[in-house]
Structure 1
């Protein structure tokens, strides 16, 4: 039997562990080297005496040793889920000063942005609004490191906004291959980046025009995707009413998908971080958050505090309490309370949801690694094979653990509760 000792540096202290390889039929118990005195959690990859925010972040870093791997990527690719987890890493670094968090973020920029500023796997001609989200990581890295390649990449992403196809009233299409379609997802994918970029790089009347454009996106969604009876918003709207999933009168998709609503809530609270305090659209977005939170709390499970894959179908066959949407709702509500967008009384619903996630959806392995379970892996509309937006479609999409679209919002929510 050979023993390979390797060192894991976690939070400034050193943990020694052992990997055992069998050379014969004879087996022996694994030897655990004596841990450093600073580590009270002997043999743990992730110590249990940390806050949930760090426990989940360290678990993600353990699962995905390089940040481009987040959300199960097989090779470096410019996609959106990693940026959500890295947003949380930014806030953890600001809170703790622990360099391993910063290095994890910085590595993403190094791997995904070439020295000439081109972006690995990115094609502007696709006009896919999802691909703006990781621009938030570059905004952060450029502010910290001032590397020219990040500025060039950011300017490319900003060019996409100028060319992004729109509906007649100015809402962005979700993708060029999805003509005339506005998805709730797109508000999160594009608007925090658009607002943050404007804040950092645009001045005068050009900045005002951009901020107005951002607010227009929310105004348009409230006008076209809101169900006035429930206060919930449908997953998507087809201006042309041509899609098989679209209602022939309204153009709306048939259901309220949990994560779509989750994206929308996070979009609103994150945009407000950079929308000027004196912008007239700011008060409207805050009013949308109030309406949104009221509607979301009405469909929160009264027993476990969680939310369902199809929000208004609790108890329907096959429906389930879903992790990514639950984490997003909790983050949106608790951040809104902390920022003063919602009264403090709303914290009760957020706390119930957060406790429900920890009790029902979190599992911890023997080595301390934390898992977030029951995450919907993906859901959309149209495409090939065709996604029809039916109830059966949503409840039958793959479910997995540790999806970045859930772990990221969970860390962000945890940080809000830890303030």
Structure 2
């Protein structure tokens, strides 16, 4: 059921910001890449190529991309450039990735190293940005054989998770303000006040996508330990039907609801944690995926299906005439929109992980059947 839904969605997808290079389209690109890797089915690569090629010109320029905005979100879709360059060898994809790398060379940072989230959010680190930039920077370093880029990405990631960690809950806060100037920032810790599930979902995906590229050793072990601790908390906070709430640790809050994008992100990260040999909670991820497929992918008028209960957007600070204070009440006022790509992309990724696990299990069963019987002595 999900495969046909994804195919229909990608076929009819209209770029999120009228064709401008943006992270929302990057969520779809990640979904298509993981489906292609898991299945080898050409349709996912065809969708990816068609959409990316509409945004990358012959010289590697990116549609409506402005480096001086220093928007960390704009880095995420760049991961598709490495994938297409590896498959096609076309230089323009790598040139476009180098352009994004130039942004990261000059992107402003807080004193301890992590990038500002955006130029218009000065001195702030948001969990979202760790997923947007760190796996890309590692892949850029690998593509250019520049270990300094890899090491800087790991150092930033370690610093950011230390700064955003809330020891009392075992979770991570959406934002950290080094300056303590934002009204949402705690004057002592600089942290935002509540635990928004999708921000932690971005972080969970960043964990597995960073660890994936690390060799065995102390750094990989340390990050894996941090991820296992997060997975422990996710297991404890899952709803009875294997989903996670918009404000993940506030089941008593009026209006709190199972949110689909965070659930899909955790479904992906938990399964990938298992595949990478970090943790053994892949079944929880697959149960979450099944819950979304059964409860939230529903028919609408005209026979099509949609993924429901996706928070459209949430942030911190001033935006479109309101001040987003990071409270529980704030997160429960944000609009809910079906089929938003920030939910559908991670759902694709979670299904790709399920397919990989299924194929691995099938291969092991076949191998077991091929082995000659050993007579007992």
> Which one of the candidate residues 59, 63, 71 is aligned to 1:120?
63
- In the alignment, structure 1 residue 294 sits paired with structure 2 residue 232: yes
Instruction: Name the counterpart of 1:214.
Output: 153
Give 1:265 deviation, angstroms: 0.4
Give 1:388 deviation, angstroms: 1.6
Give 1:306 deviation, angstroms: 0.9
> Separation in 1 of the partners of 2:290 and 2:40?
27
Matches within 5 A, 1:28-177: 48=1, 52=2, 54-64=3-13, 69-70=14-15, 73=16, 75-177=18-120
Q: CA RMSD in A?
A: 1.8
> Separation in 1 of the partners of 2:82 and 2:219?
24
Mean CA deviation greater in 85-94 or 163-172: 85-94
> Separation in 1 of the partners of 2:287 and 2:36?
27
> Measured at CA, do residues 250 and 288 of structure 1 come closer, stay the same or move farther in structure 2, by a change above 3 Å?
same
Give 1:304 deviation, angstroms: 1.4
Instruction: Name the counterpart of 1:202.
Output: 145
Give 1:150 deviation, angstroms: 1.8
Instruction: Name the counterpart of 1:21.
Output: none
Residues 100-144 of structure 1: per-residue CA shift (max 9 Å, x gap): 322211122321112222211111111111000010111111112
Give 1:191 deviation, angstroms: 0.8
> Which one of the candidate residues 127, 132, 143 is aligned to 1:184?
127
Q: Could you tell me whether the CA contact under 8 Å between 1:56 and 1:411 is conserved in 2? A: no
> Measured at CA, do residues 278 and 340 of structure 1 come closer, stay the same or move farther in structure 2, by a change above 3 Å?
closer
Residues 16-62 of structure 1: per-residue CA shift (max 9 Å, x gap): xxxxxxxxxxxxxxxxxxxxxxxxxxxxxxxx4xxx3x233213124
- In the alignment, structure 1 residue 326 sits paired with structure 2 residue 263: yes
SS at structure 2 position matched to 1:371: strand
Mean CA deviation greater in 385-394 or 305-314: 385-394
Instruction: Name the counterpart of 1:34.
Output: none
> Measured at CA, do residues 95 and 263 of structure 1 come closer, stay the same or move farther in structure 2, by a change above 3 Å?
closer
Report which of the two structures shows the higher radius of gyration computed on alpha carbons.
1
- In the alignment, structure 1 residue 361 sits paired with structure 2 residue 296: yes
Q: TM-score, normalised by structure 1?
A: 0.81
Residues 315-356 of structure 1: per-residue CA shift (max 9 Å, x gap): 3101111000011011111110122110x3x23422332232
Q: TM-score, normalised by structure 2?
A: 0.89
Instruction: Name the counterpart of 1:338.
Output: 275
> Separation in 2 of the partners of 1:74 and 1:339?
34
Q: Could you tell me whether the CA contact under 8 Å between 2:140 and 2:149 is conserved in 1? A: no
Q: Could you tell me whether the CA contact under 8 Å between 1:318 and 1:395 is conserved in 2? A: yes
Q: Could you tell me whether the CA contact under 8 Å between 2:38 and 2:353 is conserved in 1? A: no
Instruction: Name the counterpart of 1:307.
Output: 244
Aligned length: 354
> Separation in 2 of the partners of 1:279 and 1:177?
38
> Separation in 2 of the partners of 1:74 and 1:135?
16
> Measured at CA, do residues 162 and 270 of structure 1 come closer, stay the same or move farther in structure 2, by a change above 3 Å?
same
SS at structure 1 position matched to 2:63: coil
SS at structure 2 position matched to 1:211: helix
Q: Could you tell me whether the CA contact under 8 Å between 1:374 and 1:401 is conserved in 2? A: yes
Residue ranges of structure 1 left out of the alignment (5+ in a row)? 1-47
> Which one of the candidate residues 223, 245, 248 is aligned to 2:162?
223
Q: Could you tell me whether the CA contact under 8 Å between 1:382 and 1:388 is conserved in 2? A: yes
SS at structure 1 position matched to 2:230: helix
Q: Could you tell me whether the CA contact under 8 Å between 1:199 and 1:274 is conserved in 2? A: no
> Separation in 2 of the partners of 1:169 and 1:229?
23
SS at structure 1 position matched to 2:306: strand
Question: Per residue, is there more helix in 1 or in 2?
Answer: 2
Q: Could you tell me whether the CA contact under 8 Å between 2:38 and 2:352 is conserved in 1? A: no
Matches within 5 A, 1:375-394: 375-384=310-319, 385=321, 386-394=323-331
Q: Could you tell me whether the CA contact under 8 Å between 1:56 and 1:407 is conserved in 2? A: no
